[in-house]
Amino acid sequence: MDLLRSVKDRTDETEFYTPLPDGYTLGSTKYVVVFGTVISGLGKGIFSSSLAKLLKDKHLRISPIKLEGYLNIDSGTLNPFRHGEVFVLDDGMETDMDLGTYERMLDQDLTRQNFATSGQIYSTVLAKERAGTYLGRDVQMIPHVTGEVKLRLRELAVRSRADVVFIEVGGTVGDIENAFYIEAMRELSYEEGEGSVVFVALTYVLTPSALGEQKSKAAQLGIKRLMEFGIHPHILACRAEQPVLEKVRQKLAVYTNVPMRRVFSMHDLPSIYLLPSIMREEGLDSELVQLLNLGGRVNSAHELRAASEWHRFSSRIGHASQEVSIGITGKYTALRDSYASIIKALEHAGVANDAKVNVEWIDTTDIHDGNVVKALETVDGIIVPGGFGTRGSEGKISCIGHARRNKLPYLGICLGFQMAVVEYARHMANLEGANSSEMDPDCKHPVIDILPEQKKIEGLGGNMRLGGQDVTLTPGTLAAELFPGADQVRMRFRHRYEVDPRYLDPLTQAGLIFSGCHPHHPIMQILELPREVHPFFIGVQFHPELTSRPLRPSPLFVGLVKAALERKSKAGKEEAGMQGMHGIKAKQEG
């Protein structure tokens, strides 16, 4: 190992190529690597983040990283239809939705260093080749590309000062695009030495309906595939619909040499939030601690506190005393993954309000003022979420108008903020023909227009206002009330267009309140209606769903659900009152 350290980047003198960042000592950081076998869609992100959370609960410093197989540099240009929502980190990186799962589970902000794609790895290698870094050698998948992967992990270890770097290898073992990641993990384990790297294989135990019994063959073959790469898993986690039978676990143990106590059943649960507690009960975390020799660093008092706090949250899921219905409008209504964080934020807000939130999807393509009443008949509140392009935008405006006139609780997010400005401009501020120039570049009143500083930047990738920004709140407003004690909040943005400041006067004179804006520039970031006019009508240029956490729900979602519950209970009372009246009338008439 000393040899490895001394040669650093020099590839001409040795076959060992192990570039190490400054300040890194081999064997000092622990690594957990999770691979998926058999099929995709096993919930690898949820499993990995829950396991990482268990280690964090022990007061260990955790830094997760997702290794994505695709060649895109980031997720910004991916279609949410195909790939789920784009999750934006505080530093502006556009990532896979799994990073959202990690941020929520770990209650920890991540950075671009926690997300690697094949595209990033290859482009770095190619740039180094052009810069002559490889000193005349032919540049190869092994050791240079795999070396770059290991370098990324070790840089993360140094910068985050993590006790454990938690690695999720994207895709399924056997995919061509992630093969070099798997090879890099094998090399990592060799270089870091005994007790530093633990391999976890997430696999799938099939239950064919014609047989009605669990079969382990596919899982065996999946794990065998991993072993062909020279990786022998320390832990097997078996996904299945029902608890995995002892006999099936035995079979897997025999075929893989993984001791029975490390073959776990990870069967379906009523809620993903139950997973950490179940894993802890089964002892998955203690096996990790033992394998990585982390016993001395564990803080049991901290763990106890964290576990009971989590239990208080998770035990309330599915046991709410009331229900409420929130409509979400949008173009991607066919694919719930495109709104994953909004659904999570509503779950968090539901628990905070002791309510089950039922989501109703509203496709606005065919909605207009004539049928909007019917379309929103059954909801107690609505969200118009973020989006791009013209489709359904007039339907959204109809929904917003209906919510405004009928005191239906409203939360507009990003595009939902912009469309609320357009609705108000057209119907309250006498600006006929108002629109966003995204929807109609030639409209009479482009109340929403492209940011001047953004106009200079061209091309599709990377021309948006991205990442965390401060929002200054106006005292005395609903926004300020939702964030008590804060005069500034930090929120995540992902947009190109904004309110054109030239229209601020007519809009505010007509009664619209801008209750949150950029600390220095006239960029409007929160709008609302006075509470005398509407109980809860708020729009935000940012994405509050991205920073909602199970134990720290977003106040905007909590406020929406609360207002929707109040409206529902008021409507219920009015109805009961009406029935009472009918009863009296009937009696009198009788």
Q: Is the peptide bond before 143 cis (omega within 30 degrees of 0)?
A: yes
- List residues bridging with 540 in a β-sheet: 413, 526
What is the 8-class DSSP label of residue 549? B
Contact 234, 198 (CB under 8 A): yes
Q: How far is the CB of 211 from ligand GLN (least distance, A)?
A: 47
Residue 387 found at the interface with ligand GLN (CB under 6 A): yes
Q: Mark 330-369 with x for binding to ligand GLN (rule: CB under 6 A) and - for no binding.
A: ----------------------------------------
Active site residue 543: yes
For residues 365 and 406, which CB has a smaller minimum distance to ligand GLN in the complex?
365
Contact 291, 234 (CB under 8 A): yes
Tell me the residue length of the chain.
590
Active site residue 443: no
Q: How far is the CB of 389 from ligand GLN (least distance, A)?
A: 7
For residues 134 and 339, which CB has a smaller minimum distance to ligand GLN in the complex?
339
484: tokens are: 């008590």
Q: Is 477 helix (H, G, I), strand (E, B) or coil?
A: coil
391: tokens are: 């489709």
Residue 497 found at the interface with ligand GLN (CB under 6 A): yes
Q: How far is the CB of 537 from ligand GLN (least distance, A)?
A: 18
Q: Which stretch binds ligand GLN (CB under 6 A): 33-41, 112-120, 357-365, 381-389?
A: 381-389
Q: How far is the CB of 405 from ligand GLN (least distance, A)?
A: 24
Distance CA 195, CA 234 (A): 11
Distance CA 367, CA 372 (A): 6
Q: Mark 148-177 with x for binding to ligand GLN (rule: CB under 6 A) and - for no binding.
A: ------------------------------
**Angle (nearest 5°) at CA 321 between 316 and 322:** 115
Distance CA 104, CA 89 (A): 12
Residue 414 found at the interface with ligand GLN (CB under 6 A): yes
Q: How far is the CB of 191 from ligand GLN (least distance, A)?
A: 42
Residues 88-117 that bind ligand GLN (CB under 6 A): none
Sole binder of ligand GLN in the list 45, 147, 350, 386 (CB under 6 A): 386
The H or E element spanning position 463 is none
Contact 116, 178 (CB under 8 A): no
Residue 415 found at the interface with ligand GLN (CB under 6 A): yes
Residue 550 found at the interface with ligand GLN (CB under 6 A): no
Active site residue 414: yes
Our measurement of the distance from residue 375's CA atom to the centroid of its chain's CA atoms, rounded to an integer in Å, reads: 29
1: tokens are: 């190992």
| 568 phi and psi angles, rounded to 5 deg | -65, -45
For residues 387 and 550, which CB has a smaller minimum distance to ligand GLN in the complex?
387
Sole binder of ligand GLN in the list 58, 66, 404, 495 (CB under 6 A): 495
- List residues bridging with 56 in a β-sheet: none
Rg (Cα) of the chain, in Å, rounded? Answer: 27
162: tokens are: 């993590």
Question: Of residues 348, 495, 534, 543, which has the active-site annotation?
Answer: 543
Distance CA 2, CA 7 (A): 9
Q: Which stretch binds ligand GLN (CB under 6 A): 40-48, 105-113, 293-301, 386-394?
A: 386-394
Residues 438-467 that bind ligand GLN (CB under 6 A): 438
Residue 492 found at the interface with ligand GLN (CB under 6 A): no
Residues 420-439 that bind ligand GLN (CB under 6 A): 438
Question: Which residues of this protein are in contact with ligand GLN, per CB under 6 A?
Answer: 386-388, 414-415, 438, 494-497
Residues labelled as active-site residues: 414, 543, 545
